[in-house]
Amino acid sequence: MNGIIKTTFEEKIATVSFYHSASNSFPSILLQNLTQELNVLNENENINLIVLKSEGNGAFCAGASFDELLDVSTFEQGKLFFSGFANLINAMRKCSKLIIGRVHGKAVGGGVGIIAACDYAFATSNAAIKLSELAIGIGPFVIEPAVSRKIGKMEMAEMTLEPSEWKTAQWAFEKGLYNKFFESIEDLDTSLNLFTSKLSSYNPEALNEMKKVLWKDCENWDKLLIERAEISGKLVLSTFTTNALQQFKKK
């Protein structure tokens, strides 16, 4: 029920995979475990690069656990719940290793935030994206800085204000969320392996310095993302959201 985090090593590359039976969604404990794993890898001098992926052939990531969201009954619980993605995005941002995303399927909500927090992302044509939060009375506040940084504020607004609409992987590639785009997983993995093998062979000090350059001017996110978690933690208790969640339960 808590999901699984697994890390494998090959040469100077660590591949971190996550899995949850509910479409690779994230309960709080799985978010904590992934955050902790990235923090450990940050200190590992034997690796130069991290590949982040999910398991299975379905969704890449369905975002936060809806079951856990339904159980939130206080502001503190809500803040803690939404802080999980804040902590993960900040761990990805501050990790000394470049993080390469492998996106094989659809991503919703927090899953889009995870992709945006990767330094480079490979995707297939199945990797459509959606930000559905507004439909249940909250919003993608925590992940907004990461997503806007990648695709722009207006494109972020377009996704947010159309919470029931999927954006195609082609759209996400054109807007800059994905850096490489393939029709099949086989082609993706072939290109990903070549790319990471070459990238991981470069000077680790140069890679580390490049990571700092890529994330320049985001130093306030430790505070900002927790403030955003507080907004969501308050809204999840609103009458609108309570009613929306109750309707979801009945489906």
pLDDT in tens, 112-140: 999 999 999 999 999 999 999 999 899 99
pLDDT of residue 250: 67
Mean pLDDT of the chain: 95
- Phi and psi torsions of 182, nearest 5°: -135, 155
Beta carbons of 97 and 211 less than 8 angstroms apart: yes
What is the tens place of the pLDDT at every residue in 43-99? 999 999 999 999 999 999 999 888 888 889 999 999 999 999 999 999 999 999 999
Furthest-apart CA atoms within the chain: distance in Å:
55
C-alpha 216/C-alpha 211 separation (Å) is 9
Beta carbons of 123 and 129 less than 8 angstroms apart: no
Report pTM: 0.96
Please give the structure tokens belonging to residue 217. Answer: 């001017």
Mean pLDDT to the nearest integer, 197-218: 97
C-alpha 90/C-alpha 205 separation (Å) is 21
Fold of 4-186: 2-enoyl-CoA Hydratase; Chain A, domain 1 (3.90.226)
Confidence of residue 242 (pLDDT cuts 50, 70, 90): confident
C-alpha 26/C-alpha 30 separation (Å) is 6
| 107-108 and 4-10 strand pairing | unpaired
